[in-house]
Amino acid sequence: MEKLLIAIGFGQRAYGRWLFQRLLAGIIVVASLTIVISIMISVMLVSGLYIGYFALLQYGAEPAAAMIIIGIAAILTVIMLILSALACLHHLRQMPRNLLKRSPLASRAMNALDAFTDGLMAD
């Protein structure tokens, strides 16, 4: 019985480390995506608006119409990047629940052991 408990303990430690590594990787992805979003927003505001505005003016657009077109394009791009970051964050929040649903053999053995000890203590 003790050997079984030791084996289950090692399995859960290994699974916990693996879960921690997956969560850490997810956090790094979200942080990286946030940095990319901020860089893209900066590039868009500085150069994209400037170049797009003057390109539209060169092709004969009115200044107000050119500014509206560039503004809408910038807003749509920023919204798309923010939604992708939120989707990654939502995936990161759901990952521990999904991984616990698909638990390894050691977790199933631990559940059986918990049920046994619960039954033993109930008497």
pLDDT at residue number 13: 65
Please give the model's pTM, rounded to 2 decimal places: 0.47
The answer for residues whose C-beta is within 8 angstroms of residue 96's C-beta and 6 or more apart is: 19, 23
7, 44, 11, 30: which is closest to 95 by C-alpha? 30
Encoded tokens for 8: 């289950």
Residue 95, pLDDT score = 67
List the pLDDT tens digit at each of the 123 positions of the chain.
566 566 666 566 666 666 667 777 888 888 899 899 889 878 877 787 889 899 999 999 999 999 899 889 889 988 988 898 888 888 877 766 655 555 555 566 666 666 666 666 665
How far out from the chain centre does Cα 20 lie? 14
**The pLDDT of residue 30:** 85
Helix (H, G, I), strand (E, B) or coil at 59: coil
Instruction: Summarize pLDDT for 89-120 with one digit per residue, the tens.
Output: 888 777 666 555 555 555 666 666 666 666 66
Residue 61 token pair: 């657009």
On average, the pLDDT of the chain sits at 76
Q: Is the distance from CB of 28 to CB of 36 less than 8 angstroms?
A: no
